[in-house]
Amino acid sequence: MKTIRFLLQKEFIQILRNRTMLPLIILMPFIQLIILVNAATFDMKNIDIYVVDQDLSSTSRGLVDKFEASPFYHLEGRSFNVEDGREDLLTNEAEMILNIPEGFERDLRRKNQASLQLLINAINGNAAGLIQAYSNHIISGYNQHIAVEWTQGVAAQKQQPLEVVYSYWYNPEMNYKIYMVPGILVILVTIISLFLTAMNIVREKEMGTIEQINVTPIKKYQFIIGKLLPFLIIALFELAFGLLLGRLIFDVPIVGSLWVLFGVTVVYLLVILGFGLFLSEISDSQQQVMFVTFFFMLVFILMSGIFTPTESMPDWANKVNVINPIAYLMRIIRMILLKGSGFADIWQEFYSLLIYAFLSLGLAVWRYRKTA
């Protein structure tokens, strides 16, 4: 225990004295939360549309007015020629063309049906899907509106037999930022803990101080604990700091128990820290360890479900995610913060993480050799 205290003291002095590391530890939560959360949002606002109204009837104008009135759309331009709109699509000035053909109102009145065209930039399939859904919503709303208007009182009694009422749980305003903040927090603690530990032992190897430590009677477990604890403490501090910022800036709800959240995070961090130490032990230089660490980070983060829900990933990806610790915490943190899930709801993920913590720490202890 005493030996570990000396190790901790030394690590903290080194971290606090490091002129690049310390500001980064403080600034990273700010930058990641403020910039990433705002930038990585899928909220759709101000979708630029280009209107080609070839009908110029009161019905077609009414439809265009509906689009203009919606907060989701911004009228980028209008003309009578689809080609003009297409050019705007190509230059990214418009995301969608609403094409109303000549005779729209006439067909509607005579044949009781008419068609119009939506041309959507679908390079980002996700966004295109949303634009289409929003547009459909507006068009069908308008559809009902004119049906009522034209048939007068008749329709008023002829109500639709089935009506769907939506109620969005856990994030009633469908605020994407509230979904993103917990995800960014996971990334934050992961980056801090993985990189700091991965660089640590390699640095001692490069400087030659590891030899001097290996020639002392220090026990393996003392060394590993002395190397883990400082980064565990820093990462937990980062989580608390990030949560506070998320609460203050984005008003992120904290429905569940913080105790459960921090408890799970400790176990998660043990997985990451053990893995970081292991990478550090098998590498010879900081460059090498950076490269390897970056590889794992990128794959695990992109697969973790931070941007796209893991449920919509293919089956094999979900199988790969069984060994992805980030995916577990990503799920857990959102459940606890947004839904208020308790330990009873997350115990499966928790025990999985616990097993991985044993494995990864075991690997780190096993691979640390005082004798080459």
- In the complex, the residues that contact other proteins under the rule CB under 8 A are 2-3, 5-7, 9-10, 13-14, 17-18, 207-209, 211-218, 222, 370-372
Q: Which is nearer to other proteins, 38 or 209 (CB)?
A: 209
Residue placing its CB nearer to other proteins in the complex, 10 or 319: 10
Tokens of 336: 């606890």
**How many whole angstroms separate alpha carbon 288 and alpha carbon 282?**
10
Considering the complex, what minimum distance in angstroms separates the CB of residue 215 from other proteins?
4
Give me the least distance between CB of 199 and other proteins, in Å please.
14
Q: For other proteins, give the closer residue by CB, 197 or 304.
A: 197
Q: Which CB atom, from 91 or from 371, has the smaller least distance to other proteins? A: 371
Nearer to other proteins, 45 or 369 (CB): 369
Closest-CA residue to 337 (of 264, 233, 232, 238): 264
Could you tell me how far CA 305 lies from the centroid of its own chain? Answer: 7
CA distance 296 to 122: 31
DSSP annotation of 306: S
Name the burial class of residue 54, with classes exposed (0-12), middle (13-18) and buried (19+) by CB atoms within 10 angstroms of its CB.
middle
Query: CB-side exposure of 52: number of CA atoms within 13 Å?
Result: 22
* Residue among 15 and 254 whose Cβ is closer to other proteins: 15
Nearest-approach distance from CB 217 to other proteins, in angstroms? 4
> Shortest distance, CB of residue 353 to other proteins, whole angstroms?
31
3-class DSSP state of 100: strand
Shortest gap between Cβ of 286 and other proteins (angstroms)? 15
Give the integer Cα–Cα distance in Å for 60 and 304.
45
Alpha helices (runs of H) in 219-321, residue ranges in sequence order: 220-250, 258-282, 286-303, 315-320
Q: Please, what is the minimum distance in Å from the beta carbon of residue 17 to other proteins?
A: 5
| Cβ-Cβ contacts under 8 Å for 62 (sequence gap 6 or more) | 142, 146
* Whether the Cβ atoms of residue 193 and residue 269 lie closer than 8 Å to each other: yes
CB of 246 vs other proteins, minimal distance in Å: 33
Closer residue to other proteins, CB minimum distance, 81 or 216: 216
